[in-house]
Amino acid sequence: MKEEQKLLRILGNRDVLALAFGAMIGWGWVVTTGLWITEAGSLGAILAFVIGGILVLLVGLTYAELASAMPLVGGEHVYTFKAMGRVVSFIATWAIIFGYISVVAFEAVALPTVFEYLLPNFSHGHLYTIAGWDVTITWAGTGILGSILIAWINYRGIKLTSAITMIFTLLIILSGILLITGSTATGNVQNMQPLFETGMAGVLTVVIMTPFMFVGFDVIPQAAEEINLPKKRIGQLLIFSVALAVIWYIAIILGVSRSLRPSALGESDLVTAEAMVAAFGGSQLMGNVLVIGGIGGILTSWLGFYVGGSRAIYALAKAGMLPKSLGELHPKYKTPHKAILLIAVLSTAAPLLGRSALVWFVDAGGIGLVIAWLLVAISFIILRKKEPGMNRPFKLAGGSAVGWIAAVMATGVTFLYLPGMPSALGVPEWIIVGFWIVLGIVLYNYSMAKYGKENTDKYMNDEIDRIT
């Protein structure tokens, strides 16, 4: 009988922390910090990230307990199945995959933006104009080639992915520390005016961007079967990574708002790099240093969400909720290679949409993330009542109260995306969301018809019984 192939269990403390933190700290802090400040004001932007950070910490706590109790690949897929069954499990996992692929597509669009900053006259070979942005051969080509490279690294295995992630995470931290120390020494509190812009509407506009900026901690439970640590440590590292990200974003907003006058925030596509230049007395070299750190953020985020997305697709396919070929592991590299290739196909064309796609992917992907987080929080509440005797190596104090608060906050943030709200999604975002919903319905119904609901339920119950 052929032995079943398994994922490699090799990730240690530093690997897990770098994977989660590196995934959360992508390129957004370089390219959209100015947008946060102009939309909400300096203090308003900080308040928005405090609100978003509290939501993510609370959701993260529910994840931490569930991940340590059921350390199986797929994360949300397992928790929601145990609590609410197959259909909700698919909805939650398909939603989180949407968020992950949105980040992967975002990074493919962000990469050529970096080259524009570092290389004057980089963009050549006009193709067409979309949403006011001229898409060129060199611009789109850079994003497409970068996407292919990242897919190849993930294809080659978790060990290579983890090593590269560690190196670039250190690069991000170094560039961020330089910005923060420079702005502290030479910045001006007066530059932070206005503290609030357009009142609470501005704050809420930034709040709906925060889920996209914080997503990444949930890559840890996706890769649970590749982590070689005690179950309790998985939960601890998850919460620690979220706390680090909250501190990071607040510090970056402070650094940029202290270094640049409000009028300067709208004059550059990369205001964080311009803030670094200002903080170091006009040194363009230091601006380039920060952009290189930003490249590190692109790569760590890109790599991390390929891991998260491919493992979530792999978990659904193994259970028969997606075509089972997507649940095959590479015979040599032990990676879900077909799931990785699917993400590559869906995201590699993203640069052809132009720079406007940066905002589209942030907002559209955010709603998928928040829906998944909401369903995990509800699962936490249900399992506390339904399975009180479950072994929980990382057990939260206070019973299900944290879960209720997280669920209420996630529900509130979800409503912010809906029509009629000041921060509602636009037409391009709803088109992207609609495409993903239709694709999910088609694939799920095809898989259920082919493999059978009973077989899926039996597989999931057997896996959960095996680990608990």
DSSP string, 377-425: HHHHHHHHHH-TTS--SS--TTTTHHHHHHHHHHHHHHHHTSTTSTT--
CA–CA gap between residue 224 and residue 209 (Å, rounded): 27
Residues of the chain with pLDDT under 70: 1-4, 266-269, 358, 422
CA 262 to chain centre: 29
CATH of residue 282: 1.20.1740.10
Three-state DSSP at 115 gives helix
**What was the pLDDT predicted at 87?**
96
List the one residue out of 158, 166, 161, 327 whose CA is nearest residue 228: 158
Say if 467 falls within a structural domain. Answer: no
Three-state DSSP class for residue 187: coil
Secondary structure class of 437 (helix, strand, coil): helix
The rounded distance, in Å, linking the Cα atoms of 443 and 93 is 13
Answer whether residue 468 is part of any domain.
Answer: no
Helix count and strand count (H, E) for the chain: 20, 2
State the Cα–Cα distance between residues 325 and 273, nearest whole angstrom: 44
Peptide bond into 419 cis (omega under 30): no
Assess if residue 7 is contained within a domain. no
C-alpha 271/C-alpha 32 separation (Å) is: 8
The confidence score (pLDDT) of residue 298 equals: 87
Q: Give the range of the structural domain holding residue 257, as residue numbers without chain letter.
A: 14-461
Distance CA 306, CA 344 (A): 9
Give residue 3's pLDDT: 47
221 cis-preceded (ω within 30 degrees of 0): no
Residues 6+ apart with CB under 8 A from 5: 329, 331, 334
**What are the residues whose beta carbons fall under 8 Å from the beta carbon of 293, sequence distance 6 or more?**
30, 171, 172, 174, 175, 176
Residue 261 belongs to some domain of the structure: yes
Q: Kindly report the number of other CB atoms within 10 A of residue 399's CB atom.
A: 13
Element (H, E) at 126: strand 126-130
Q: How many domains does the chain have?
A: 1
Q: How far apart are CA 42 and CA 262, in angstroms?
A: 9
- Token digits of residue 27: 């390129």
pLDDT of residue 4: 59
Of 121, 129, 148, whose CA–CA distance to 355 is shortest?
A: 129
Q: Which two tokens stand for residue 382?
A: 């249900």
pTM: 0.88
- Bridge-based pairing of strands 133-136 and 126-130 is antiparallel
Does residue 31 lie within any of the structural domains? yes
Residue 240 domain-assigned (yes or no): yes
Question: Among the residues of 260-336, which ranges form H helices?
Answer: 262-265, 271-279, 284-318
What is the distance between the alpha carbons of residues 325 and 434, in angstroms, rounded to a whole number? 25
Would you say residue 466 lies in a domain?
no
For residue 252, give Cα distances in angstroms to 175, 258, 320: 11, 10, 43
* Residue 4 located in a structural domain: no
Q: Which two tokens stand for residue 460?
A: 């999931």
- The pair of structure tokens assigned to 235 is 């939960």
Residue type, 381: I
Residue 340: how many CA atoms within 13 Å on its side-chain side? 26
d(CA 252, CA 254): 5
